[in-house]
Structure 1
């Protein structure tokens, strides 16, 4: 199960930690101030997902790698165009004469377009970029697959969807057969849509498609994180394409409805606009996040009220 936690207090810049149940590895979305983020949690982060590199989303990156140096792990960093040069510059601005080359390794995945991801390696102490490959997917491990949309914030702003892997349930009571390795073979054929495969059960050979009725696909949990974006139709079409019917989405709602002109000027969203796009996406649950730092708690309540009114409106 995917378990997100907002690690920033009110008037702090945004940072969201994503934990995976029964896994010691976490993911981090954006590197703003995060008073609630512990050193132990930072040291458990295996991948960082940066929406864009405005200072309020990137300022705490130094604090993150400060606690990762020496882990001897490979940490993946995903982000928009030029993210590799920006991280290289941050790392090269320090002196690393006491750090050996195996202290850590960063794998940076630069999102050039929906189909083009450049992959770079950075290692201490010199932190020289090495382009190793270009691929057409962003991130996938044993727990999740991450999809994305490139939104307009007068710069590329990446919105991420964390898709938990689907699970397959076997209905043992309906089979009438003894347990055996044939169950895993059946599941593999089901996952690969290999209907013509044959398996042997208790000395009899069966076509797997005749046994697919014993299996059920359970869709994995889907968590979305949509940071800064202009409230425009082009962005909304991209959001719908990736985030429709997600289980939970955190979405930037930077301004009150009464500050719509500021939202337009600064390529941000506002309360009711964010709520409406979540309604249009038919997501099961949506949470407004990342409010203007000048807002008081009363202002934030106003944002949340307008957001949920638009989201839940019949």
Structure 2
């Protein structure tokens, strides 16, 4: 799976992170501030994960709604307590008397401490509530065939959620090894890849060209295991010492860590008062989490020269952009 993440508001604009699954014609959105994405990209979004509903993180919902309104799809919205009322409030700002031919469903998943409430809103009924289902609480919000999304609650004087996109481990076939064994590609390859990811399936056999092979043998000789891509999104929270371990574990070995850096060290008091991070804080998290790349964003607009913030982060972690 080819994955391309990009910020929608740049370094100092409204927060939003677009994760495009290039060969799946599908995209995810972390936060929903004003953004500069092309309309065609916004129509590909299937799931939106909202950290919290301050205006700079949620104002872009209106544009997302407008561009997907005539699509026949389900748009999932994940968010903290209150997200359902926030979405309904947005929808009630418009008149829906001519909506019978619409087919958009908005499925709001409100994450509470003890459960997750899933509420379906149907466009052809003026976005009236058509179904409500509860499921057990889990830090894993979404498990798809090839990836999952997890969340972590942080403190922004209100709950503010961090999110991680985690691609599943995959396998690639070594073509030269295939030729050495005298095997021809076929449907068995897909089955082998699936079984190879199950640690208990090594003893199972596959029959190929009238010959039986164990999954363990084929996996050892033919497959290269590939670790999935991990993308973590952290924004708008107070960095409390007692949470550092939780945060580092959540972002552990991310390929990309997108992390806010609203203030410099000179304004640490301002950062603490507003429950935001300094650039040094972001660098420290990246170092402790052993990430591959740190991408800073959500700079306060008071900084015209971003190099100050970038250099402060690099004092803690070198690979910063």
Note the C-alpha offset of 1:3. Answer: 0.8
Instruction: State the superposition RMSD in angstroms.
Output: 2.1
Aligned to 2:177: 174
Note the C-alpha offset of 1:117. Answer: 2.9
Note the C-alpha offset of 1:195. Answer: 2.1
Aligned to 1:191: 197
Cα separation, partners in 2 of 1:143 and 1:185, compared to 1, 3 Å = closer
Question: How many residue pairs are counted as aligned between the two chains?
Answer: 309
Asked if the contact 1:29–1:48 (Cα under 8 Å) also holds between the matched residues in 2, the reply is yes
Moved more, 65-74 or 274-283: 65-74
TM-score, normalised with respect to structure 1: 0.91
Asked if the contact 1:2–1:164 (Cα under 8 Å) also holds between the matched residues in 2, the reply is no
Aligned to 2:117: 118
Cα separation, partners in 2 of 1:183 and 1:39, compared to 1, 3 Å = closer
Note the C-alpha offset of 1:204. Answer: 3.1
Note the C-alpha offset of 1:9. Answer: 4.4
**Secondary structure in 2 matching 1:245:** coil
Note the C-alpha offset of 1:142. Answer: 4.2
How many angstroms apart in 2 are the aligned matches of 1:61 and 1:168? 37
Per-residue CA deviation, residues 230-253 of structure 1 (Å, 9 max, x unaligned), is 111233222222211111111011
TM-score, normalised with respect to structure 2: 0.89
User: Does residue 1:297 correspond to 2:304, yes or no?
Assistant: yes
How many angstroms apart in 2 are the aligned matches of 1:28 and 1:203? 48
Aligned to 1:312: 318
Structure 1: 4+ residue segments shifted above 4 A: none
Aligned to 1:13: 14
Cα separation, partners in 2 of 1:144 and 1:286, compared to 1, 3 Å = same
Asked if the contact 1:25–1:45 (Cα under 8 Å) also holds between the matched residues in 2, the reply is yes
Cα separation, partners in 2 of 1:178 and 1:29, compared to 1, 3 Å = same
Aligned match of 1:203 in 210, 225, 236? 210
Gaps of 5+ in 1: none
Per-residue CA deviation, residues 24-75 of structure 1 (Å, 9 max, x unaligned), is 22222211122x2222222221111111111111122122212211112111
How many angstroms apart in 2 are the aligned matches of 1:291 and 1:111? 28
Cα separation, partners in 2 of 1:72 and 1:211, compared to 1, 3 Å = closer
